[in-house]
Amino acid sequence: MSRFTRLGLALLGLAVLAAVSLPAQSGDVYTPKRINKVIELFEQDQPVYYTQVNGGGYEEGVRLAQTWADYITYNMEHSPFNMDALRGFMQGLVDGGPTKSGHRTPTVVAVLPLGGINEQVMWGNYWMVEQVLGSGVHGVLLAHARTPEVVRILVQSSRYPHAPKTEGIGEGLRGSGGQGFAARIWGVSNQEYQRLADPWPLNPNGEILVGLKIEDRHALENAEESVAVPGVGFAEWGPGDMSMSYNVQRAEMPQVLVDARARVFAATKAAGVAFLNGMNGDNIIAMIDEGVLIGSGPGPEAADRGRRHTNRQMPW
């Protein structure tokens, strides 16, 4: 065997070793195991990263179908509550997909246009949850989730009546007739959609994520009980609104905000759900090592660093 042949075989061996040891990249073959990409990543103990849109319709959906982000927050808290636009957005994601990981669409979590101030507000507006989920999104996020009673209504509003019974959670409130569009977005039959459209991790087979913003001093008083309500999948501490609630400057990060973040973070750990926090290129590794599982708006380069840090195998 010549010296050049031996060298070629050695280089080939190194290339094979590199291919085995490196995490999967965009374009690699991957077969999704779930509809909800974020839940699939959580089950692999992987952090996730999101970007946000403030409204938008079909064209925006097509443009974001190949987003760098694992999920998209569709914000209706301070943007119009427009179901036609949201349905168009979801259809655009389908038509522009699938994702690089092979999922039909990125996960979409819609921020509801109401605050969880009290039970009366929730009962008067629970229909919004059904409308939003009927658009085919994969989760809902409630602002100002102040009490566990409010959260129980949110979870109940996210379920069908036939969902497995859970102590402390009333019978599901979603009705028949609204599943057709969502089922088409997910690429499943109406019957299969009704089986899968249930909050995770309450239902291990569920594909819906229910999130909470514990973002003012009133909500903070009940953080532990609210986050522990069965059906909650993640929570955040909302530094912007929390700083307004305490009338302090967010940029200065006074002790009261440090304590608020620590309390919500501890509540999520105790409940076994994901904690959401802002990330950037300077702090993303530290945040991941701390245990933050959802990164808010880190951008593609920082998210790429995070994925490599955790040796993610799902293509991105």
Separation between Cα atoms, residue 296 and residue 21, nearest integer Å: 28
* pLDDT of 8: 44
Instruction: Let me know if residue 119 belongs to a domain.
Output: yes
Question: For the chain, how many residues are written?
Answer: 316
Show Cβ contacts of residue 191 under 8 Å, excluding neighbours closer than 6 positions.
Answer: none
* pLDDT of 29: 84
Distance of CA 154 to CAs 93, 149, 199, 243, 304, Å? 26, 9, 11, 25, 34
Instruction: Let me know if residue 173 belongs to a domain.
Output: yes
Instruction: Let me know if residue 100 belongs to a domain.
Output: yes
Q: State the average pLDDT over residues 268-294.
A: 98
* pLDDT of 21: 37
Instruction: Let me know if residue 288 belongs to a domain.
Output: no
pLDDT tens-place string over residues 156-180: 999 999 999 999 999 999 999 989 9
Element of type H or E holding 142: strand 139-143
Separation between Cα atoms, residue 167 and residue 79, nearest integer Å: 35
Question: How many distinct helices (H) and strands (E) make up the chain?
Answer: 15, 8
Separation between Cα atoms, residue 297 and residue 301, nearest integer Å: 11
Distance of CA 304 to CAs 42, 109, 311, Å? 17, 21, 10
CATH number at residue 140: 3.20.20.60
Instruction: Let me know if residue 245 belongs to a domain.
Output: no
Distance of CA 301 to CAs 24, 61, 137, 282, Å? 16, 22, 26, 11
Instruction: Let me know if residue 83 belongs to a domain.
Output: yes
pLDDT tens-place string over residues 58-70: 999 999 999 999 9
Element of type H or E holding 112: strand 107-115
More confidently predicted of 6 and 110: 110
What is the radius of gyration, based on Cα positions, of the chain?
Answer: 21
Instruction: Let me know if residue 281 belongs to a domain.
Output: no
Separation between Cα atoms, residue 108 and residue 135, nearest integer Å: 10
Q: State the average pLDDT over residues 84-101.
A: 98
Instruction: Let me know if residue 189 belongs to a domain.
Output: yes
Burial class (CB in 10 A: 0-12, 13-18, 19+), 120: exposed
The chain-wide mean pLDDT, for the chain, equals 92
* pLDDT of 85: 98
Cα dihedral across residues 245, 250, 254, 259: positive or negative: positive
pLDDT tens-place string over residues 13-35: 433 333 333 344 444 689 999 99
In the numeric block, which tokens belong to residue 6? 């031996």
**End-to-end Cα distance, the chain:** 41
Q: Which domain holds residue 218?
A: 46-231
Q: State the average pLDDT over residues 271-285.
A: 97
* pLDDT of 40: 98
Determine contact, residues 237/264, Cβ cutoff 8 Å. yes
Report the number of distinct structural domains present in the chain.
1
Determine contact, residues 47/293, Cβ cutoff 8 Å. yes
Helix, strand, or coil (residue 216): coil
pLDDT at residue 10 tops 90: no
pLDDT tens-place string over residues 245-268: 999 999 999 999 999 999 999 999
Closest CA to 153 of 140, 170, 136, 165: 170
* pLDDT of 28: 61
* pLDDT of 25: 47
